[in-house]
């Protein structure tokens, strides 16, 4: 059905460091990328949901892409994925081309999330234009399947059509549905023909057992050494259920305090010593007393 997936391993869905004036903290981003590269991540996704991507202007996104491309120069092999999806096909094409021009390995692209009743034919036409006009030879596009947020599902039939038409460009899917049966079904339907990167920490081991090629998760900002243990153990043929249980319990804590970016930034500051990065409205920072509660529950889940 296509070539072996190129995107494998543990990827952090990185937060976007922000200054008090809500502009991107590019120095903070460099430090975060260095931190994640040194803690077992094979790469990062920038400007995804965790990175508050849709809250940023085109110019801000490109500033972040450019800073990340510079930061990864000291980490050969560390991969950069760009969240480039917008409801505008022209803006999506521009952002995707810009990311590839900066040396990114892949675009992770939301469907056009305003028209939620768009048909598979319409989505196929939309993604086909992006693939034709923005993805170079050797580049990869991952569809971003996160229906609880986007309101739009990427069907099995749509994925199959895109892979058939663009076997060397349509690489697969970031699956953030949180649906265990969907994770299993992706493996049954596509095997190793599509790169499936799971987005829910609780399903990481299950996804690997179902043929997934890795993960892109928010919690890897905090716990990527645990994700890497699970990944390495699975590659060695020794699934690590104990570490998976820790990840699952920790994820259950964070899921009680949505949305994810504010809690991740608070915990990155308290646990790993990063600055108290802001979030963009409509998201709001956690109150200090609430941070203490979440921190206590989170650390207890890892015991």
Residue 11 a catalytic site member: no
Q: Is the peptide bond before 95 cis (omega within 30 degrees of 0)?
A: no
pLDDT digits (tens, 9 = 90+) for 235-253: 999 999 999 999 999 999 9
pLDDT(292) > 90:
yes
pLDDT band at 188 (very low <50, low <70, confident <90, very high): confident
Q: Which two tokens stand for residue 266?
A: 């608070």
Buried b (16+ CB within 10 A) or exposed e, 151-170: ebbbeeebbbbbbeebeebb
pLDDT band at 183 (very low <50, low <70, confident <90, very high): confident
Which range, of 150-154, 203-207, 261-265, averages the lowest pLDDT? Answer: 150-154
How much is the average pLDDT of 41-64? 97
> Of the spans 120-124, 175-179, 189-193, which averages the highest pLDDT?
120-124
Question: 24 burial class (0-12, 13-18, 19+ CB within 10 angstroms)?
Answer: middle
Residue of 16, 49, 50, 217 marked catalytic: 49
pLDDT band at 192 (very low <50, low <70, confident <90, very high): confident
pLDDT(16) > 80:
yes
Residue of 86, 144, 243, 278 marked catalytic: 144
Residue 144 a catalytic site member: yes
Residue the block writes with tokens 């028209």: 115
Residue 49 a catalytic site member: yes
CA separation for the pair 237, 285 (Å, rounded): 42
- Partners of 216 in beta bridges: 11
pLDDT(17) > 70:
yes
Collapsed DSSP state (helix, strand, coil) of residue 67: helix
pLDDT(121) > 90:
yes
How much is the average pLDDT of 148-158? 91
pLDDT(199) > 60:
yes
Residue 257 a catalytic site member: no
The pTM (predicted TM-score) of the whole model is 0.95
Residue ranges of domains in the chain, CATH in brackets = 9-240 (3.20.20.70)
Residue of 97, 163, 169, 174 marked catalytic: 174
Write down the pLDDT at residue 23.
97
pLDDT(5) > 50:
no
pLDDT(285) > 70:
yes
Write down the pLDDT at residue 55.
97
Q: Which residue has the higher pLDDT, 261 or 3?
A: 261
Write down the pLDDT at residue 148.
86
């Amino acid at each position: 059905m296509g070539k072996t997936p190129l995107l494998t391993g543990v990827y952090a869905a990185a937060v976007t460091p922000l200054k008090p004036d809500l502009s991107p903290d590019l120095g903070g981003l460099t430090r975060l990328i260095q931190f994640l590269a040194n803690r077992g991540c094979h790469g990062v996704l920038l400007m995804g949901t965790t990175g508050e991507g849709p809250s940023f202007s085109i110019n801000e996104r490109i500033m972040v892409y450019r800073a990340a491309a510079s930061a990864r120069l000291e980490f050969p092999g560390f991969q950069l994925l760009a969240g480039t999806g917008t409801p505008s096909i022209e803006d999506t094409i521009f952002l995707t081309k810009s990311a590839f021009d900066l040396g990114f390995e892949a675009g992770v692209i939301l469907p056009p999330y305003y028209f939620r009743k768009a048909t598979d034919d319409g989505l196929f036409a939309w993604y086909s234009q992006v693939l034709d006009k923005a993805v170079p030879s050797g580049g990869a596009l991952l569809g971003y399947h996160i229906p609880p947020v986007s309101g739009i599902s990427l069907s099995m039939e749509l994925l199959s059509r895109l892979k058939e038409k663009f076997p060397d460009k349509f690489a697969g899917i970031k699956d953030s549905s949180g649906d265990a049966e969907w994770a299993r079904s992706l493996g049954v339907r596509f095997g190793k023909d599509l790169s499936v990167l799971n987005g829910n920490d609780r399903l990481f081991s299950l996804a690997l057992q179902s043929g997934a090629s890795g993960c892109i998760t928010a919690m890897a900002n905090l716990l990527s050494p645990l994700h890497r243990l699970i990944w390495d153990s699975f590659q060695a043929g020794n699934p690590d259920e104990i570490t998976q249980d820790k990840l699952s319990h920790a994820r259950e804590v964070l899921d009680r305090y949505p949305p994810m970016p504010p809690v991740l930034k608070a915990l990155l500051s308290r646990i790993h010593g990063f600055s108290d990065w802001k979030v963009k409205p409509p998201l709001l920072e956690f109150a200090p007393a609430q941070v203490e509660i979440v921190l206590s529950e989170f650390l207890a889940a890892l015991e």
